Homo-oligomer: A and B are copies of this chain.
Amino acid sequence: MSKAADHAYAEIRSLILSGDAPPGAPLTEEALADICGVSRTPVREALRRLESELYVVRSDSQRLFVADWSRDDLAEMFTLRAMLEAHAAARAAVRIDPAGMEAIAACNARIASAVAGPTPEVGAFLSENRRFHEIVIAAAASPRLASMLAALVEQPVVRRTAARYGKDELSRSVHEHGELIKAFAARDPEWARAVMTGHIRRAFHAFSAAAPLSV
Contacts and interface: CB of A to CB of B under 8 A. Distances in A.
Interface string A70-100: 0001001101100110010000000000000
A203 interface: no
Contact of A147 (B48, B49, B54, B144): B54
A2 B148 contact: no
Contact of A80 (B41, B52, B79, B144): B144
Contact of A77 (B73, B76, B144): B144
Q: Which of A41, A76, A84 has the most chain B CB atoms inside 10 A of its CB?
A: A76
A137 to B, nearest CB: 13
B83 A2 contact: no
Contact of A52 (B52, B76, B77, B142): B52
Interface string A135-174: 0000000111101100010000000000000000000000
B87 A144 contact: no
A25 B2 CA distance: 23
A213 B199 CA distance: 40
A45 interface: yes
Contacts of A2: 62
Interface string A53-76: 010000000100000000001001
Contacts of A54: 143-144, 147
15 contacts: A41-B41, A48-B48, A52-B147, A54-B143, A54-B144, A76-B142, A76-B145, A77-B144, A79-B87, A80-B84, A80-B142, A80-B145, A83-B83, A83-B84, A83-B87
Given A41-B41, A80-B144, A83-B84, 8 more contacts: A2-B62, A54-B147, A76-B142, A76-B145, A80-B84, A80-B142, A80-B145, A144-B152
